[in-house]
Amino acid sequence: MRDLITAIGLLFFIEGLLIAMFPSRIKNILKIIEKIPESKLRKTGLLFLVIGFLIIWYIRN
């Protein structure tokens, strides 16, 4: 459970750092994302989910 909380904290830290460093770029990226169809976003999200799972699985074993 401690690892999960640490991972969530790290996620917030990285996201916050990116938003603080590049606020205008983040706004532009969000405008681009609005134009992408939901099905493509869903597929991309699932791809990153699988990649993240494989990285964690590889490091833990």
Q: Is 61 helix (H, G, I), strand (E, B) or coil?
A: coil
First to last CA, the chain: 18
Query: What digits encode the pLDDT tens for the residues 6-50?
Result: 999 999 999 999 999 999 999 999 999 999 999 999 999 999 999
- pLDDT tens, position by position, 12-22: 999 999 999 99
Dihedral of the CA atoms 16, 18, 42, 61 (nearest 10)?
-80
Contacts of 33 (CB under 8 A, 6+ apart): 41
The answer to whether the Cα torsion of 27, 55, 46, 11 is positive or negative is negative
